[in-house]
A and B are shown apart, each in its own frame.
Chain A
Amino acid sequence: MPDPIGPAGADATSFSQSALSPAAALDEARRGLCDEILRGQGGRAALGRFSDRFDGILRQLIAAAPRIQQPLTVVAIGGYGRRQLCLHSDIDLLLLFGGHLGDAEERVLRAILHPLWDLGLVVGHQVREIEEFGRLEVDNPEFLMALVDARLVGGDRELFDRFEDAFHHAGTHAHVIGALNTLIDSRHARFNDTLYQLEPDVKEAPGALRDLTAMRWIAALTDPSLLRRGPEESASLDDAEDFLLRVRSILHLESKRNHNQLGHSLQEKAADVLGYPGTLPQQRVERLMSDYFRHARVVMRGLAWTRKAAPVPVGPNLGRTSDGIGFIDLHRAAAEPKTWLAAFQGAIDGDCPVSDATLACIRQHAGHFEVENFFPTSEERAALLKFLRPAPGLYARLSEMHDCGLLGRMFPPFQAITYRVVRDFFHKYTVDEHTLLTIRNLERLITDETPDRQRFASLLWDLTAPELLVLALLLHDVGKWRDDDHHLESVRMARDMFQRLGLAPEQRDAVEFLIANHLAMSQVAFRRDTEDPDIVRQFAELVGVEERLRMLCLMTLADVEAVSLETLTPWRAELLWRLFVDTYNQLTHGYGDEPIDAGQAGSGELLAGRPPELSEADIAHFLQGLPRRYLQLFTRDAIYGHVRLSRDIRPDEVHLSVEQKGNAWELTVVTLDKPFLFSNISGVLASFGMDILRGHAMTNPNGLVLDVFQFTDQERFLELNPGAIKQMFGVLNDVVSGRVSVADRLQGRARSLFHRRPVHVGSVVRSDNTSSTRYTIIDIIAADALGLLYRISRVMSLNGCDVDLVLIATEGHRAIDVFHITKAGRKLSDTDQLELTAALQQMLEEGYETD
Chain B
Amino acid sequence: MKLIKCIVRPNKVDEVKDALEKIGISGMTVTEVRGHGKQKGHTAIYRGKEYNVSLLPKMQIEVVVADTVVEDAIKAVVQSARTGEIGDGRVFVLPVEQTYRIRTGEKDSL
List the interface of chain A (C-beta within 8 A of B): 455, 526-531, 569, 571-572, 574-575, 577-578, 580-582, 584-585, 764, 766, 779, 781, 811, 814, 816
A53 to B101, CA, bound (A): 103
The one of B9, B14, B45, B83 in contact with A766, judged by C-beta atoms closer than 8 angstroms, is B45
Contact between chains at B10 and A575 (CB < 8 Å): yes
The one of A455, A529, A572, A585 in contact with B11, judged by C-beta atoms closer than 8 angstroms, is A529
Q: A residues within 8 A CB of B14?
A: 527
Contact between chains at A571 and B48 (CB < 8 Å): no
A124 to B31, CA, bound (A): 82
Chain B, residues 34-54, CB within 8 Å of chain A (1/0): the string is 100000000011111001010
The one of A574, A580, A764, A811 in contact with B57, judged by C-beta atoms closer than 8 angstroms, is A574
Measured as residues with beta carbon below 8 angstroms from the partner, the interface class of chain B is: 10 to 19
Q: A residues within 8 A CB of B47?
A: 781, 811, 814, 816
Contact between chains at B45 and A585 (CB < 8 Å): yes
Contact between chains at A816 and B48 (CB < 8 Å): yes
A527 to B33, CA, bound (A): 15
The one of B33, B51, B57, B83 in contact with A575, judged by C-beta atoms closer than 8 angstroms, is B57
**A to B CB contacts below 8 Å, 21 in the list:** A526-B10, A527-B10, A527-B14, A529-B83, A531-B9, A531-B85, A569-B32, A571-B33, A572-B32, A574-B57, A575-B57, A577-B51, A578-B44, A580-B46, A581-B46, A582-B44, A585-B46, A764-B48, A781-B48, A811-B47, A816-B48
Q: B residues within 8 A CB of A572?
A: 32
A345 to B47, CA, bound (A): 34
Interface residues of B in 78-92 (CB under 8 A from A): 83, 85, 87
A531 to B9, CA, bound (A): 10
Q: Residue on B with the closest CB to A525?
A: B10
Q: A residues within 8 A CB of B32?
A: 569, 571-572
A766 to B57, CA, bound (A): 27
A577 to B46, CA, bound (A): 10
What's the least CB distance linking A143 to chain B, in Å? 53
Given A571-B34, A574-B34, also A581-B51 (CB < 8 A): yes
Contact between chains at A528 and B11 (CB < 8 Å): yes
A464 to B7, CA, bound (A): 41
Contact between chains at A531 and B87 (CB < 8 Å): yes
Contact between chains at B53 and A578 (CB < 8 Å): yes
What's the least CB distance linking A39 to chain B, in Å? 85
Sample of 6 more A-B contacts, CB < 8 Å, known A531-B85, A572-B32, A581-B44: A455-B46, A526-B10, A527-B14, A528-B11, A531-B87, A571-B33
Q: Residue on A with the closest CB to B33?
A: A571
Given A766-B48, A816-B47, also A527-B11 (CB < 8 A): yes
The one of A528, A529, A779 in contact with B48, judged by C-beta atoms closer than 8 angstroms, is A779
Q: A residues within 8 A CB of B57?
A: 571, 574-575, 578
A577 to B45, CA, bound (A): 11
The 5 closest A-B pairs by CB, nearest first: A781-B48, A571-B32, A764-B48, A581-B46, A581-B44
Chain B, residues 7-40, CB within 8 Å of chain A (1/0): the string is 0011110100000000000000000111000000
A572 to B10, CA, bound (A): 10
Chain B, residues 61-95, CB within 8 Å of chain A (1/0): the string is 00000000000000000000001010100000000
What's the least CB distance linking A412 to chain B, in Å? 38
A274 to B9, CA, bound (A): 98
What's the least CB distance linking B43 to chain A, in Å? 11
A330 to B14, CA, bound (A): 58
A584 to B57, CA, bound (A): 20
A584 to B49, CA, bound (A): 13
Contact between chains at B46 and A584 (CB < 8 Å): yes
What's the least CB distance linking A589 to chain B, in Å? 10
A658 to B83, CA, bound (A): 53
Q: B residues within 8 A CB of A585?
A: 44-46
A441 to B47, CA, bound (A): 24
A814 to B83, CA, bound (A): 41
A183 to B11, CA, bound (A): 70
Q: A residues within 8 A CB of B87?
A: 531
Q: Residue on A with the closest CB to B44?
A: A581
Q: B residues within 8 A CB of A530?
A: 11
Contact between chains at A529 and B9 (CB < 8 Å): yes
What's the least CB distance linking A733 to chain B, in Å? 35
Q: A residues within 8 A CB of B9?
A: 529, 531
Q: Residue on A with the closest CB to B88?
A: A529
What's the least CB distance linking B33 to chain A, in Å? 8
Q: A residues within 8 A CB of B45?
A: 581, 585, 766, 779
Q: A residues within 8 A CB of B12?
A: 529
A585 to B44, CA, bound (A): 9
What's the least CB distance linking B67 to chain A, in Å? 33
What's the least CB distance linking A60 to chain B, in Å? 75
What's the least CB distance linking B39 to chain A, in Å? 9
A820 to B12, CA, bound (A): 37
A140 to B85, CA, bound (A): 77
Q: B residues within 8 A CB of A584?
A: 46
A180 to B69, CA, bound (A): 87
A467 to B33, CA, bound (A): 35
What's the least CB distance linking A262 to chain B, in Å? 74
What's the least CB distance linking B81 to chain A, in Å? 11
Q: Residue on B with the closest CB to A531?
A: B87
Q: Residue on A with the closest CB to B42?
A: A531
Q: A residues within 8 A CB of B46?
A: 455, 580-581, 584-585
What's the least CB distance linking B15 to chain A, in Å? 10
A580 to B83, CA, bound (A): 23
What's the least CB distance linking A489 to chain B, in Å? 26
Q: Residue on B with the closest CB to A761?
A: B48
Among the interface residues A455, A528, A531, A578, which one has the most CB atoms of the partner chain B within 10 A?
A531
What's the least CB distance linking A602 to chain B, in Å? 28
Q: A residues within 8 A CB of B33?
A: 571
Q: Residue on B with the closest CB to A818?
A: B47
Q: B residues within 8 A CB of A574?
A: 34, 57
